[in-house]
Amino acid sequence: MKTIGAAVVGLGAIGRKHADSLKELEKEGFSVRLVAVMDVLKSRVDEYAARYSCKGYYVYDDVVKDPEVDVVFIASPHHVHAQQAIYAMEYGKHVIVEKPMAITLASAKEMIDKARKNGVKLGVIYQRRYIDAVQKLKEMIDRGVLERVFMAEASLMWFRSEEGYYLKDEVARSWRGMWSTEGGGLLMTQAIHVIDLLVYLFGDAEEVYGYTENVSHPAVNVEDSAVAIIKFRGGVLATLSSSLSFYPPDKQYWRIRVFGVNGFAEVENETFTQIAIKGYSPEQTLFERKKENLHKKLFKDFLTRLQEGKDFPINGEEAYKSLEIVKAVYYAMTTKKPAKIPLEINVVI
């Protein structure tokens, strides 16, 4: 089997996790090789190219023109995802890009079109789908263990201080907390994870309403808190409560609670916290916490499917859905009317 050449673009905390995960896969004998890293900060390129014993590029053009690179792993700030992904796909590279795939629906559509037209794979990183408890919850729903699922509550209550997050350093201040570069706030960057899980569990949304606020981050003008109601085509009604103003930090959580006519189940912070379903006795192991590198798990799945010529389930079309729900909340906020999905992309970019 051909060894897949990988390049990581953007060497912030998460880009380093990409590189670490790829190196671990490499060590485990998986047929992948980290060929190059790239960033706009020369010092980071030098440091990490040396650490990972790979090529270091200061210019993106060099990544896409490197014949040893088969897949570009994009971990740069949100606003460059689409441009970098499209350029790589123009050069016939496969792309795996961090969430959100893009900051506008129009550019997300262009990415999807480019992948199709050029016959390359486009994967988006929603690694929480790979949590065992989440996969088990999906299986329970799909098998009808809860019978008819009619409602869900999703929450993501996190703490990010202004100084420690939005204003942390020059890099953070260059793109976080601005509509032009982050494309939104908590919904676009953090809550989109649980929105994606709702999409994973319940499929396509039909209508969305919501409110956003900035509660405790006056230095930025994006939202740090949001509530939303999402009506799914399959009939499930879901609520979302989410914030970066939650306190105290040591009690932060994200949670999904699913209600069926037969009972309910709840996943919180990567494990089941409750399952109470008529005629169903869950194994104790379902409640055990497992510390896993979910990025690595997702990469392994993406790369295996690539080797086998199979589709990756979190492709552009699938990742578009959570982005569209985020946009629908902003749209509903502006128009003060529920937003129908699909959104008209010429209206809501």
Ligand X SMILES: NC(=O)c1ccc[n+]([C@@H]2O[C@H](COP(=O)([O-])OP(=O)(O)OC[C@H]3O[C@@H](n4cnc5c(N)ncnc54)[C@H](O)[C@@H]3O)[C@@H](O)[C@H]2O)c1
Min separation Cβ 222 and ligand X, Å: 13
89 Cβ partners below 8 Å, 6+ apart?
A: 95, 111, 114, 115, 118, 120, 122
Find the binder of ligand X among 2, 13, 163, 251 (CB under 6 A).
Answer: 13
Min separation Cβ 35 and ligand X, Å: 16
248 Cβ partners below 8 Å, 6+ apart?
A: 159
- At residue 266, the 3 state secondary structure works out as strand
Residue ranges in 86-105 that form contacts with ligand X under rule CB under 6 A: 98-99
Plot region of 92 (φ>0 → left; ψ -120 to 50 → alpha; else → beta): left
Q: Does 125 bind ligand X (CB under 6 A)?
A: yes
Stretch that binds ligand X, among 12-20, 65-73, 156-164, 256-264 (CB under 6 A): 12-20
261 Cβ partners below 8 Å, 6+ apart?
A: 146, 147, 148, 150
Query: What secondary structure letter does DSSP report for 220?
Result: S
Q: Does 172 bind ligand X (CB under 6 A)?
A: yes
Angle, helices 316-335 vs 105-118, to 10°: value is 160
Q: Does 178 bind ligand X (CB under 6 A)?
A: no
- At residue 274, the 3 state secondary structure works out as strand
11 Cβ partners below 8 Å, 6+ apart?
A: 19, 37, 38, 39, 41, 44, 45, 48, 75
- Only one residue has tokens 């440091």, namely 47
Q: How many Å from the N-terminal Cα to the C-terminal Cα in the chain?
A: 42
Nearer to ligand X, 172 or 277 (CB): 172
Min separation Cβ 295 and ligand X, Å: 7
Min separation Cβ 157 and ligand X, Å: 16
Nearer to ligand X, 38 or 228 (CB): 38
Q: Does 1 bind ligand X (CB under 6 A)?
A: no
Find the binder of ligand X among 45, 80, 258, 328 (CB under 6 A).
Answer: 80
| Binding map of ligand X across residues 38-57, x = CB under 6 A, - = no contact | xxxx--x-------------
Find the binder of ligand X among 56, 77, 123, 184 (CB under 6 A).
Answer: 77
Of the candidates 221, 213, 224, 222, the one whose C-alpha atom is nearest the C-alpha of residue 161 is 224
Stretch that binds ligand X, among 71-79, 222-230, 304-312, 332-340 (CB under 6 A): 71-79
Nearer to ligand X, 78 or 231 (CB): 78
| Whole-angstrom distance, CA of residue 348 vs CA of residue 332 | 11
Q: Does 210 bind ligand X (CB under 6 A)?
A: no
> How many Cα atoms are found within 13 Å in the side-chain-facing hemisphere of 288?
5
Nearer to ligand X, 14 or 286 (CB): 14
Nearer to ligand X, 115 or 319 (CB): 319
Min separation Cβ 208 and ligand X, Å: 21
Residues that bind ligand X (CB under 6 A): 9-15, 38-41, 44, 60, 75-78, 80, 98-99, 125, 127, 171-172, 189
